[in-house]
Amino acid sequence: MDFNSALMDITPQESVEMGGFANRGGGSLGVHLPITCRGLALREDARACCLLALDIMDMDAVVARELKQAISGRTGVPAAHIHLHSTHTHSSIYWDTSPANARWKAATRERVIAMAERLLNGPFRPMRMSFGRAQHQLAKNRTAIPGAANDPEVAILSLEDLEGKNRVILLNYACHPVVLGPENRLISPDFVGPAREAVEQAWGGMVLYTNGAGGNLNPKWCKQSDVKVAEHAGRELAAAVLAARLEACAPPLTLETLSGEVLLPLRQDVFSRESILAVAERESRRPTEFNNWPGYVELWKNSMLARLEKGALSGKLPLEIAALRIGPATLVFSQGEAFVEYQLALKRLHQGRPFLFVGYSNGIGGYIPTRESLAAPGYEADLAYLYLKTPAPPAVEAAAVYQHALAALLGLKNGKPAVAVC
C-alpha cells in the first residue's frame, strides 16, 4: 500500500462569523492559532481513497456531497471513497453565514478540491504502519445520566515511508473541542491545535487529528475565555500520546472501502403547514441560552415550509456511513454527532483490533443520542433539531436502527450488534 499527505492553511484573512455558540458577542477579532486542512491519500493497486480533516465546526451535508463529487470528477476516485472530516472546533468559521464567510467558502472550496487532486495524483510512497493506544481523561460526559459513559482512549495510527523520512500520525479522540467558549473571539482549532503541534515537534511528520463519537462529551475545562487553557489541555493530551507504545502492523497492508446509508426514524413522520407553524409557535417561546432563539426557530420554520412545498419532508433522516480498512485497522466514518456509547460498542465488537470512530464526517446530520438519552429531556434530544434544521428529533428507536446499520456495514455478527448498550 502507498500513501501521500498534504497540509494547507485555511485561516480566514478577515473578520468572520464564528460557529459553535449562538450567544457569542460578535465576529472574530483575530487568530489564536491557524486553522488547517490536512489530507491523507491511500492507494493499493487501482483502488484509492482520501481523508481531508478541516478545522471547522461542521459542514452542511449538501456542501460535503458537492465537494466530494467535484473531487471525484477531477480524480476519478469514487465520491464514496472521499471523506471530509470536521474536527468540530467551536472557535472556527461558520461555512457561509455572512458576506465575509461566503468569500472564505468560495476560496476554500477551490483550494480544498485542488489539494485533494494533488493528493490523489501522487506522488505516492510505499508505507508501513504501526498502532498504539494512549489513555487520557480530558473528556467527560455532559449528560445528567448517572454513570454515563466515557472513552479515555486515544487511538494512534502512524504511517511512514520505508525510509522513515515522511510520516503521518492519525490521532482519534472523542471530545467536543469547546475548551474555548463564547467569550473567545479568536479563530482557533481549540485544544486540537496545541496537541498536534506538540506531537509533531516530538515525533516529526504531520498529525491528522480526527474527532470520535463525542456528541455527549465535553472537556473538563469547558467554555473558557483564555486561550492558554486550550493550550494546556492540548499539551496534556499530547503528553499522553507521546507516552504510548506503538507496535508495527505486519505486512502486507491491504485497503478495503465500505459505504452505506442509514435512515434514522424521526418522532414525526407526517408534516403539514399547520404542524410546522404549531411547533414554531411553541418552541419560539421556550427559554434558552441562545441570544436569538426565536430567530433560529424562524429559520427552521421557513426551511421546513420550503421543503414541504417541494415535497421534500420525510420522517426519516438519511445519514451517510462508511468504513475504511487499512490492514488490521478499521476506521468508521459517520455523519452526525454520535454519542460515545456507539464507539465503545463497536470497539468491543472489534475485540482489541485497531479501531477508530471518525465522527463529524461528510456533513453534519444532527445528534445521534442513545436510547436512554432520547427518552429523557435534553438539548440533544429535544432542541438541537431546530438549530440544525432537521424536521423533527430522532425517535427512540433511532438508536437501535443506527447501531444495527453500523454493525451490518462492518459485517459484524451478521449485522446484529453483539453489545446492545445503545
| 417, pLDDT greater than 70 | no
| 420, pLDDT greater than 50 | no
Residues 6+ apart with CB under 8 A from 98: 16, 17, 27
Only one residue has cell 477508530, namely: 356
Alpha carbon separation from 188 to 96, 117, 178, 201, 240 (Å, rounded): 18, 27, 10, 19, 22
* Percentage of the residues of the chain whose pLDDT score is greater than 90: 82
- Distance between CA atoms of 105 and 275, rounded to whole angstroms? 35
pLDDT per residue over 19-30, tens digit each?
Answer: 888 888 899 999
Minimal CA–CA distance to 208: which of 156, 255, 138?
156
So what's the pLDDT on residue 249?
94
CB 119 within 8 A of CB 111: no
Residue 337 Ramachandran class (φ > 0 left, ψ -120 to 50 alpha, else beta): beta
| 413, pLDDT greater than 60 | no
- Distance between CA atoms of 257 and 281, rounded to whole angstroms? 45
* Percentage of the residues of the chain whose pLDDT score is greater than 70: 97
| 200, pLDDT greater than 80 | yes
394: cell is: 430522532
So what's the pLDDT on residue 421?
40
Only one residue has cell 473571539, namely: 185
Break the chain into its structural domains and give their ranges. 2-248, 272-312
Neighbours of 392 (CB within 10 A): 20
Confidence of residue 415 (pLDDT cuts 50, 70, 90): very low
Minimal CA–CA distance to 135: which of 241, 246, 218, 247?
241
So what's the pLDDT on residue 22?
81
So what's the pLDDT on residue 414?
41
pLDDT per residue over 251-300, tens digit each?
Answer: 999 999 999 999 999 999 999 999 999 999 999 998 887 778 898 899 99
Confidence of residue 78 (pLDDT cuts 50, 70, 90): very high
| 91, pLDDT greater than 70 | yes
Per-residue pLDDT averaged across 216-240, rounded? 97
> Taken in order 405, 406, 412, 417, is the CA torsion positive or negative?
negative
So what's the pLDDT on residue 422?
42
| 416, pLDDT greater than 70 | no
pLDDT per residue over 351-407, tens digit each?
Answer: 889 999 999 999 987 899 999 988 888 888 888 899 888 999 999 999 999 999 999
pTM equals: 0.94
- Distance between CA atoms of 242 and 3, rounded to whole angstroms? 23
SS3 sequence of the chain: CEEEEEEEECCCCCCCCECCCCCCCCCCCEECCCCEEEEEEEEECCEEEEEEEECCCCCEHHHHHHHHHHHHHHHCCCHHHEEEEECCCCCCECCCCCHHHHHHHHHHHHHHHHHHHHHHHCCCEEEEEEEEEEECCCEEECCCCCCCCCCCEEEEEEEEECCCCCEEEEEEECCCCCCECCCCCEECCCCHHHHHHHHHHHHCCEEEEEECCCCCEEECCCCECCHHHHHHHHHHHHHHHHCCCCEECCCCCCEEEEEEEEEEEECCCCCCHHHHHHHHHHHHCCCCCCCCHHHHHHHHHHHHHHHHHCCCCCCEEEEEEEEEEECCEEEEEECCEECHHHHHHHHHHCCCCCEEEECCECCECCEECCHHHHCCCCHHHHHHHHHHCCCCCECCCHHHHHHHHHHHHHCHHHHCCCCCCC
pLDDT per residue over 303-335, tens digit each?
Answer: 999 999 999 999 999 999 999 999 999 999 999
What is the average pLDDT value for the chain, to the nearest integer?
Answer: 93
pLDDT per residue over 139-182, tens digit each?
Answer: 999 987 778 899 999 999 999 999 888 899 999 999 999 999 99
So what's the pLDDT on residue 187?
98
Confidence of residue 208 (pLDDT cuts 50, 70, 90): very high
So what's the pLDDT on residue 122?
87
